[in-house]
């Protein structure tokens, strides 16, 4: 019984080593920095497309100002995640991409809080410059970012 387990153990170890070696050889043979392979299930042909042709998402900048500066614990949310607040400064710069959603979290205060868009980069269509958003004990959506 013991010799059977020893033989089985050796077979499993040898198969594992061969499998890993085969995997590394295949990975090495398919490695290429400049191209990626897209396959089509309709004609089973490989098309090689250089990475340099892929588009990098364009980035924009939105600058928001807290008009009611005595209330500074206002969170700015980008796609639901906090990206900053007005504790250290009355203005905050946000880097945004197309279809990002900007929200203002004023849930800590019962007073009306005003946030104004005081700056946008040239490639941003919405939100518009000088837009003012008022919030009171709620999370308000400033808008969905649309790039030109």
- Name 101's Cβ contacts closer than 8 Å, sequence gap at least 6: 78, 79, 80, 141, 143, 144, 145
Question: Quick one: 13 and 47 in the same domain?
Answer: yes
Question: Quick one: 42 and 114 in the same domain?
Answer: no
Question: Quick one: 77 and 20 in the same domain?
Answer: no
Whole-model pTM above 0.75? no
24 lies in which domain range?
Answer: 2-53
Per-residue pLDDT of 17-35, as tens digits, reads: 999 999 888 887 776 555 4
Per-residue pLDDT of 98-107, as tens digits, reads: 889 999 998 8
> What's the Cα-to-Cα distance from 55 to each of 50, 51, 92, rounded to whole Å?
11, 9, 28
């Amino acid at each position: 019984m013991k010799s059977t387990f020893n033989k089985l153990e050796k077979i499993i170890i040898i198969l594992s080593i061969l499998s890993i070696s085969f995997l590394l050889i295949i990975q090495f043979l398919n490695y290429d920095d400049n191209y990626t392979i897209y396959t089509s299930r309709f004609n089973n042909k490989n098309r090689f497309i250089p990475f340099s042709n892929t588009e990098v998402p364009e980035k924009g900048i939105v600058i928001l100002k807290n008009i009611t500066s005595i209330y500074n614990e206002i969170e700015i949310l980008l796609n639901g995640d906090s990206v900053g607040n007005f504790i250290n400064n009355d203005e905050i710069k946000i880097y945004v991409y197309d279809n990002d959603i900007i929200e203002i979290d004023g849930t800590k205060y019962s007073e009306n809080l005003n946030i104004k868009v005081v700056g946008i980069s040239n490639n941003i269509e919405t939100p518009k410059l000088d837009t003012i958003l008022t919030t009171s004990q709620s999370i308000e959506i400033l808008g969905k970012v649309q790039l030109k």
